[in-house]
Copies of this chain bind each other. A is one copy, B any other.
Amino acid sequence: MRPSRRAPDELRPVSLERGVVKYAEGSCMVKFGDTHVLVTATLEERLPPWLKGQGRGWVTAEYGMLPRATLERTRREASAGKQGGRTVEIQRLIGRSLRAAVDLEALGERQITVDCDVIQADGGTRTASITGAWVALADCINWMKTRNMLKANVLRDNVAAISCGIYQGTPVLDLDYAEDSEADTDANFVMTGDGRIIEVQGTAEKTPFSEGEFLALMALARKGVARLVDLQKIAVA
């Protein structure tokens, strides 16, 4: 029995609310249960120096947590003077995941920066971030389309992400914090709308896992991502 009484293959209630801040070209408040992330997409007509003059654009991401998004207050990274290793890992993952679905040549020499700021954290902040980021990114690209800034299709497919893990011997979908802190194995899957894999990260927190266990997690993830992609489609419709 999961602490939340969910079935093993049951997502938390998911919501994707668009247009939540007034300045950003795209934005989304994504909620996976009690995990709430505010995502914005910013379009800028400039590129990082190493990318200039190559006829293509860039999508990058930054991630942060409000200090009291967590049970205990976490030190503010701006005050600590640097981003922690976990933050760096997550924002690199988000950026890579989004770029896998974007035609950077079609974007042109521009940069879209996706900011994912966790308002409240109850496990799965990185998967919620990616799932919501796709919505903000889609809105940003629509914003460009309505201004005739794009000639070709930029967004090739949906991108969504979900975590899975082995909790008390059972593979379960979409771990919340209570499960995540107990799970033997924890994996994050980023997948496209057509069911292919963009990124897989599986970690044995305590005991190494078998290939069979891993495949069970992947099957759950595929199911969860399909549901998230449906919700994305409804949101941007």
Contact = CB atoms under 8 A, between A and B. Distances in A.
Given A22-B120, A120-B23, A67 B81 contact: no
Given A67-B42, A81-B82, A83-B79, A198 B191 contact: no
A66 B40 contact: yes
Interface in A123-177: 157
| A contacts with B: majority SS | mixed
Interface in A48-96: 62, 64, 66-71, 73, 76-83, 85, 87-89, 91-92, 96
A62 B81 CA distance: 14
Interface residues of A, number: 63
A113 interface: yes
Nearest to A113: B73
Most buried by B among A68, A88, A192: A68
Contacts of A194: 208
B210 A199 contact: no
Contacts of A203: 96, 198-199
Given A64-B76, A202-B197, A204-B199, A70 B23 contact: yes
Given A96-B203, A199-B202, A199-B203, 10 more contacts: A21-B119, A42-B67, A44-B73, A62-B76, A64-B66, A64-B76, A73-B113, A76-B78, A157-B208, A199-B201
Interface of A: 21-24, 27, 34, 38, 40, 42, 44, 62, 64, 66-71, 73, 76-83, 85, 87-89, 91-92, 96, 100, 113, 115, 117, 119-120, 157, 187, 191-192, 194, 196-204, 206-211, 214, 218, 222
